[in-house]
Amino acid sequence: MELAYLDNAASEPLRPQALAALNDTAASLAGIGANPSSAHAAGRKAAALLETARARVAKSLGADPAEVIFTGGGTDSCALALRGLARAARRQDSHRTQIVISQVEHDAVRLNAADLEDAGFQVQVLPVDAGGVVDLEAVVALDTSQIAAISVMSVCNENGVIQPVAELCRRLREKAAADTRDAQGDSSTAAKGTGSGRDSGFAIHTDAIAAAGRQEINFAESPVDAISLACHKVGGPAALGVLLARREVKIASDRRGGGQERALRAGTQDVIAAVGAAAAFEAAQQELVETTRRHQDLREKLLQGALAIPGVKLASNAPAVPGIIQFALQGAEAEGLLFALDQAGICASAGSACHTGVARPSPVLLAQGYSEQDALGSLRISFGWSTREKDVDRLLQALPSALDASRKLAERERK
């Protein structure tokens, strides 16, 4: 049975451009090894390929090549950023022991923040509204003199909601300038540069893993200090991530070793994967306008059909990228629904792929105020570069019966 693949937020199929780059690079390195840290001719060839790939990734993302750090994946990128930025800030100022995250962060951020509590940090969680958007008014209550690092995602991986990261940065830095003036009693402090702009004593990170390929990413114009990305989310190879980090921002890495990647993420780099990732990011950037238009058309078709089914509603009406849609399904449970869809050859998810096999309410829906029972009935549909109109047609054809089967199963379990 041909599959209708609608789980691209979990992982996109490998793009043809990335596959060709992987094959060509593997062939060019065959028989000579590929350790770019070696000083001999083979090592220099591998290093040249790696640095060319780094420059291509940088150009696609509006960054300088020196700001591109290859990691072991998106989770590794988030962990390196959050842990490293927080520890570096505390080393500069022992009072900076607070980490600020949003209520809807992926586990890659949330669990790493929780682990840092064991190292003496405190975690402050910014709430979201009923649409899943971070409450910017909560920024006013923060004591910015204690903040070490902030991490707020660019696009929610479950519902596609776009978070107001730029406005969050502006408010945080304005608050930091005001807090500094109040503490020193000197209204000229902000003019001197202390507590304003990027010189606020804390660093701001965003998990843009769900945004890549769905929004333009231009690091040079971004107000954040670090951005995390995952290559397989744009049709590149898995197990390779990118951390964009400004050169002036201090990161206290816990991934020490041979000094690779600005001595922040030690270990022999995967040259072949880096070249494949460069090809994927380039293609995603070049096709962004067309992808957005096509995803918008597919979204309209999906919503028109799905919302006509009783008990199906859009989980959030907040502004979102068109390629990620989350439904809240009254009376259904995701586990039974996904099984029924899978039997029909349709690949979908309840939310983050990291929670596959775990029957638990969607944490994003819970944060939005849904009850635990209602949050169990979550369905995420996500489009990618290869999604076709007939994939949506198949989902709409199968969804009513799959929902009916899920509701019957849920009713039996409740009895």
Phi-psi group of 313: left, alpha or beta (phi > 0 → left; psi -120 to 50 → alpha; rest → beta): beta
Q: Contact, 234 vs 212, CB < 8 A?
A: yes
Answer yes or no: 354 catalytic.
yes
Task: Spell out a b/e string for 124-133, using b for 16 or more CB atoms within 10 Å of the CB, else e.
Answer: bbbebeeebb
Token pair belonging to 217:
């990413």
Active-site residue identified among 78, 169, 231, 354: 354
Rounded Cα distance between 57 and 305, Å, is: 38
User: How many separate helices (H) and strands (E) can be counted in the chain?
Assistant: 13, 12
The number of C-alpha atoms within 13 Å of 19 and in the hemisphere containing its C-beta is: 5
Rounded Cα distance between 351 and 379, Å, is: 7
Rounded Cα distance between 130 and 306, Å, is: 21
Question: 48 φ, ψ to 5°?
Answer: -65, -40
Task: Compute how many other C-beta atoms are within 10 angstroms of the C-beta atom of residue 48.
Answer: 12
Rounded Cα distance between 305 and 328, Å, is: 15
Which DSSP letter does residue 307 get? T
Q: Which residue has the tokens 């309840």?
A: 350
Q: Contact, 18 vs 275, CB < 8 A?
A: no
Token pair belonging to 389:
């109109």
Task: Compute how many other C-beta atoms are within 10 angstroms of the C-beta atom of residue 71.
Answer: 26
Q: Contact, 363 vs 378, CB < 8 A?
A: no
Q: Contact, 28 vs 400, CB < 8 A?
A: no
Per-position DSSP letters for 344-372, written without gaps between them: TTEE-BSS-GGGTT-----HHHHHTT--H
Token pair belonging to 226:
């670090």
The set of catalytic residues is 354
